[in-house]
Amino acid sequence: MTYQFDFAALLPYWREFAMGVWLTLQLSFVATVLGFVLGTLCAIGRSDGAPWVKALVACYVEVIRNTPLLVQIFIIYFGIATLGLHVDANVAAVLALVVNVGAYTSEIVRAGLESIHKSQLEAAECLGLSRPQTYWHVIVRPAIERVYPALTSQYVLLMLASSITSQISAEELTAVANRIQSDTFRSFETYIVVGVLYLALSFVVRIAFWLFGLVVFVRRRKLGTAL
């Protein structure tokens, strides 16, 4: 049994692949930023909020962590449609990814918040810092610095998981691949190319996080903490 690879058949589709890569990057970028904000707020709410806030966040996190991403995507996509709203598949995809990654982010950031010793808060309080100032300068920033490697892994996973939004025909890389392979009947080659592209994307995302970390966390840069 010999299989004749024919990658040349895919060459005419390079534009589409590129568009798919671009959309995957866009989806992931927006979902990362919004998911980070949502997750951090949830983490603060869960560790320091009113009892009902804590309960609400706990529910949200548990529901998301114990259901498949694909189901969450369908629920959000069809849920929005049922409400009579018309949203673009890409927007629904971002929304679903934000809701999903927000829950995971919140757990990671919460671990960071809890790792900040109470004596740090006391020191800030004694220096006269207000509560929001203490939160920002003494708790959240060092906490995020501490869990930054875990966050990086989570957002690489998010980028990879965004492939599943092809199921609601968001036009990202995997959706593009699905279409190309049915046009060319070159499924194996198509998914090999897509695999390599995702590998490259992961690498790019990791590098981007590393560079961002160097800019934001001065101590990492100075003390040369590896990522």
Work out whether 133 is an interface residue with another protein (CB under 8 A): yes
What letter represents residue 7's amino acid? F
Q: Does 125 bind another protein (CB under 8 A)?
A: yes
Under the binding rule (CB under 8 A), the answer on residue 221 touching another protein is no
Q: Write down the least CB distance from residue 218 to another protein, Å.
A: 8
> Of 168, 167, 155, 160, whose CA–CA distance to 195 is shortest?
160
Tell me how many residues contact another protein (CB under 8 A).
22
Q: Does 187 bind another protein (CB under 8 A)?
A: no
Q: Does 227 bind another protein (CB under 8 A)?
A: no
Between 6 and 122, name the residue whose CB sits nearer to another protein: 122
Question: Which region holds residue 31: left if phi is over 0, alpha if psi is between -120 and 50, else beta?
Answer: alpha
Is residue 127 within the footprint of another protein (CB under 8 A)? yes
Residue 13 in 3-state DSSP? helix
Answer yes or no: are the C-beta atoms of 101 and 152 closer than 8 Å.
Answer: no
Q: Which of 120, 153, 182, 187 binds another protein (CB under 8 A)?
A: 120
- Is the separation of the CB atoms in 97 and 162 below 8 Å? yes
Query: Does residue 43 sit in helix, strand or coil?
Result: helix
Q: Considering only CA atoms, which of 4, 24, 2, 13 is closest in space to residue 193?
A: 13
Min. distance of Cβ 152 from another protein in angstroms? 18
Question: Which region among 51-59, 86-94, 135-143, 202-210 touches another protein (by CB under 8 A)?
Answer: 135-143
Binding of residue 130 to another protein (CB under 8 A): yes
Which CB sits closer to another protein, 144 or 194? 144
**175 CB burial (10 A radius; 0-12, 13-18, 19+):** buried
Judged by the rule CB under 8 A, the positions of this chain that interact with another protein are 119-120, 122-130, 133, 137-138, 141-142, 145, 217-219, 222-223
